[in-house]
Structure 1
Amino acid sequence: MLHDWFEKVHALAPVLHRRRFMHRLRAGEANTDRTFCALVVTVCAATAATLRRADYGHVTVEWCLDFIEGHHLLEHGIRKPSYSLDWCIAMYNIGTSASSMNEEGLGDMGSFHGMSEAGAGVRYLVYYRMADLDMSEQQLLKRLFWLIFAAYCSADIFGKLSVSLVSHQENRAQLRPLPLTDSQLDTGPQLSAADLPPWHGDTTSYVPGLNHLSDLFLTWYEAQTAPISLYGGQEEALEHFLSRVQAIIDSFPPELRWRGGLSRQPHVTEGHDTQIANLLITSLNIRSNLLQKFGSPVKTCALEHQRIVDDLLEILYHVPQHVLEQNGNSLIPKLRDCGAAYMEQMNMGGEGSPQRLVSESASAKLEKLLRKLDDIDCWPGLPVGETSQSSRP
């Protein structure tokens, strides 16, 4: 399971240094450090939650969370809480894992609790303990900060309760992690190449993808908080934020740019492909949400939603199925949200109205989107081919 985490999931959540993590595990630290033991178990939980078609026997998300709770691995005193990077990553993993256990997603109580605790711990460490951490720990903490911010924004977009992480007090530029590979992070004792074979993360950084994801969510976040009067009106505000989203996409490095059906260049990994799917689908979901927030002339709005669905279908039918599934359940609500907005536009206006989008072409696009949702919306415990009925937007 740990191998699968680093091979297939790490690119989306690069908060562990593989050689250092495996050194600690082989040295028996999980037998003496409750928090590190919990971290290892939550990585297994997050792997099972993300790779939902994989068979890990009895090691399910529920089993992992029961193990942690049964052995009191993450409990700390009320008067003397002990925040650490390990503890925060473990709580973040619990937040993401618990969101996969039912249809509540990020609205699940366990998910909300885990993500809230992780956010509180990370903010405390960022504000009061950053100087006590070594360089590699600081970089991993910064990565975790923005992953939690992305989860906060996602929950908010879908109308779920969330705890804000970013405020006017943050120096966002200082919190931006550097695009370092594992080989560039000096983490102290770690396994050598002789003890642990090389892997793509040794020489490839997935932080640029995380930073671009943060930029996309920051654009959405500012659209919720900035006064519309700053831009001259709703249409001008919409144009401003849509332009910013497009500018972020245009600034992607070559390894994160959309290739359609073209093969990868030698320096591009499957981890980059997983990031590309996540970045592009997130950007389309944000575009759709901005259109809903600010509104625009009905015909213009309808055409924009149609372009969004066209782009979604281009991505979904070119990206390999297993790459989509390596994003776990994070893509499902985004696809549903875009599909629901498109369906709303299809049904807008009366019969014969020029604004009405209902047509064979529009219905066919929606059906293709629903088919792909059925393909990737796999629930743990269901045989391949069965999916949740909630995949309809």
Structure 2
Amino acid sequence: MITKFFIITLIIVKDVCSQQCQLSAANMNKSWVFAVATPLNKVELLHRDILQDQEQLYLICKNNDVIRLRCNHGRMSNIPAGARCSRRIKATINPIDNEKCRQNNGQMYDIRYALPIGEGVQSLYQVCYSGNFEAPIYSRHLVYRFNLAASPYQRPQFVTGGVVSQSRADSFETANIFNSFVRLLGYAQNYVKSPRVGDRIMDRGHLVNSQDFLTYDQMDETFKYINVMAQFGSINRSNWKKIENWIHKLPHTGTETFVEVVTGTFGVLELPHSQTQRPTPMFLMANNKNPIPKWSYKVAKYEGKCHAFVTYNNPFGRPNLSESPCVSVPCPLYLNFNNTITEGGASDCCDPYRLAVIVGDQANLCRANTSRKRIRPHS
């Protein structure tokens, strides 16, 4: 009897799965914002790559220009021939009036879409940004589970979004980075060899990882200067990328469909002056603005458990561990850092509770009955 029940269950599961539609890169297109209807008939952004039988996928352009595709017995209807969207909806940066972030007089901003259908406002991620220091303090977003295969993705240009100054955007240009290092460390500094693009060492480092979003339109919206920290390129592509990749895969390890993530910066990097050897705080703008952070961190909460990570944003030396906000703990399975070379940025796994005490309450994701505002999970 048990065997018969098991076989019937397998047949039912197989039949249900065969009716689903697995989205692929061929279904993705930068021209539209992708959304779906929930069981309660609300329209929400698309965060999963599998649609149920008869479920509709909305391709939203602007106003009421919406294409509706349907999953029909395992086959996804195609975008109509000749369909175009010359100017899709862009996410805007909006202050959250009833929530302040305390560090450096920061203001909390919600990066969101205003869709012409459904409930309208749809949050993508949130950033605490200090206008006084021209720098983000921390961000928060949700990482959803999906299996969409990697495909060529054309990165857009970064935009200021009406909140970040053009001066801050300009400070990330290679020539301006070189000039800032010379201004602060003297002409004999050898960290940045020249103002040529080939000698660039600094990235516009994402706080909210573009890889954590399913659709091209959502990925594009992470390319905003409010979501950028001054991060050394060798670190961005080494240990920091390992942290991002590990968190990105975390939803595949359990039953919950999303991970809650806070990313932030801590401290200001100091480098020795080329003549006096005096430790010099590093900024990419005059008047101590747009600091190069000394540390970057991520805290990820999944199925009630928190994981915390810290990276030293300095490819030229090793950290003074007494200054680190991290109290080291064993790293989770499959996360291994390369700390034998300084270029990758010394990284460690941390006690999340101790980290939150040092960097701020925003990192305390696992505290019981937290009053911290959260991005609303989507179905």
TM-score normalized by the length of structure 1: 0.25
Q: Which has the larger Rg?
A: 2
Structure with greater contact order relative to length (CA < 8 Å, sep ≥ 6):
1
